[in-house]
Protein backbone atom coordinates (compact mmCIF):
# COMPACT_ATOMS: atom_id res chain seq x y z
CA UNK A 1 0.00 0.00 0.00
CA UNK A 2 1.01 3.62 -0.44
CA UNK A 3 0.16 6.70 1.63
CA UNK A 4 0.85 10.39 1.20
CA UNK A 5 2.87 12.55 3.56
CA UNK A 6 4.07 16.12 3.40
CA UNK A 7 7.47 16.07 1.73
CA UNK A 8 10.24 16.32 4.32
CA UNK A 9 7.87 15.29 7.11
CA UNK A 10 7.48 11.60 6.29
CA UNK A 11 7.88 10.51 9.93
CA UNK A 12 5.37 13.06 11.25
CA UNK A 13 2.13 11.60 9.92
CA UNK A 14 0.13 10.88 6.80
CA UNK A 15 -2.35 12.81 4.68
CA UNK A 16 -5.94 12.12 5.71
CA UNK A 17 -9.28 13.53 4.60
CA UNK A 18 -11.64 15.06 7.17
CA UNK A 19 -15.39 15.02 6.62
CA UNK A 20 -17.79 17.74 7.86
CA UNK A 21 -18.35 15.78 11.10
CA UNK A 22 -14.62 15.79 11.88
CA UNK A 23 -14.10 12.10 11.07
CA UNK A 24 -10.69 11.48 9.52
CA UNK A 25 -9.93 8.86 6.89
CA UNK A 26 -6.52 7.73 5.72
CA UNK A 27 -6.23 7.00 2.00
CA UNK A 28 -4.39 3.73 1.31
CA UNK A 29 -3.53 3.45 -2.38
CA UNK A 30 -2.97 -0.01 -3.85
CA UNK A 31 -0.94 1.42 -6.74
CA UNK A 32 1.96 3.86 -6.46
CA UNK A 33 0.95 5.59 -9.72
CA UNK A 34 -2.48 6.40 -8.29
CA UNK A 35 -0.91 7.86 -5.14
CA UNK A 36 1.44 9.99 -7.25
CA UNK A 37 -1.44 11.19 -9.42
CA UNK A 38 -3.49 12.16 -6.34
CA UNK A 39 -0.45 13.95 -4.86
CA UNK A 40 -0.22 15.97 -8.08
CA UNK A 41 -3.90 16.92 -7.79
CA UNK A 42 -3.33 18.10 -4.22
CA UNK A 43 -0.32 20.18 -5.23
CA UNK A 44 -2.38 21.77 -8.04
CA UNK A 45 -4.81 22.89 -5.30
CA UNK A 46 -1.96 24.62 -3.39
CA UNK A 47 -1.39 21.84 -0.87
CA UNK A 48 2.23 21.40 0.23
CA UNK A 49 4.44 19.12 -1.85
CA UNK A 50 3.54 15.52 -1.07
CA UNK A 51 5.65 12.39 -0.88
CA UNK A 52 4.43 8.87 -1.67
CA UNK A 53 5.49 6.34 0.98
CA UNK A 54 5.11 2.57 0.76
CA UNK A 55 3.72 0.98 3.92
CA UNK A 56 2.53 -2.44 4.99
CA UNK A 57 -1.26 -2.49 4.99
CA UNK A 58 -1.41 -4.12 8.44
CA UNK A 59 0.76 -1.35 9.91
CA UNK A 60 -1.40 1.39 8.38
CA UNK A 61 -4.67 -0.20 9.47
CA UNK A 62 -3.36 -0.80 13.01
CA UNK A 63 -2.40 2.89 13.23
CA UNK A 64 -5.90 3.86 12.10
CA UNK A 65 -7.43 1.83 14.92
CA UNK A 66 -4.95 3.26 17.42
CA UNK A 67 -5.67 6.90 16.48
CA UNK A 68 -9.40 6.43 15.77
CA UNK A 69 -9.09 7.13 12.04
CA UNK A 70 -11.09 5.49 9.34
CA UNK A 71 -9.31 4.22 6.26
CA UNK A 72 -10.18 3.93 2.60
CA UNK A 73 -8.45 1.51 0.27
CA UNK A 74 -8.11 3.17 -3.12
CA UNK A 75 -8.14 0.50 -5.85
CA UNK A 76 -6.76 1.05 -9.36
CA UNK A 77 -10.26 1.51 -10.83
CA UNK A 78 -11.37 4.04 -8.17
CA UNK A 79 -11.73 7.72 -9.04
CA UNK A 80 -10.84 10.13 -6.24
CA UNK A 81 -10.34 13.87 -6.28
CA UNK A 82 -9.18 16.17 -3.48
CA UNK A 83 -11.99 17.56 -1.32
CA UNK A 84 -12.88 21.23 -1.67
CA UNK A 85 -14.05 23.14 1.42
CA UNK A 86 -17.12 24.53 -0.30
CA UNK A 87 -18.21 21.24 -1.87
CA UNK A 88 -21.52 20.01 -0.57
CA UNK A 89 -24.46 17.90 -1.64
CA UNK A 90 -27.22 19.91 -3.19
CA UNK A 91 -30.46 19.29 -1.30
CA UNK A 92 -32.85 21.62 -3.11
CA UNK A 93 -34.39 20.81 -6.48
CA UNK A 94 -32.65 22.16 -9.54
CA UNK A 95 -34.64 24.65 -11.57
Separation CA 17–CA 92 (nearest Å) = 26
Average pLDDT rounded to a whole number, residues 45-52:
90
15 pLDDT above the threshold of 50: yes
Q: Is the pTM of this model over 0.85?
A: no
Measured CA angle at 82 (ends 57, 87), to 5 deg: 130
Average pLDDT rounded to a whole number, residues 58-78:
92
Q: What is the per-residue pLDDT for 49? A: 92
Separation CA 47–CA 54 (nearest Å) = 20
Amino acid sequence: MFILTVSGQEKEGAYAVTDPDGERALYLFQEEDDAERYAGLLEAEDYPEMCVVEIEDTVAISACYQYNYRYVIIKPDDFVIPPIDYDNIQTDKMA
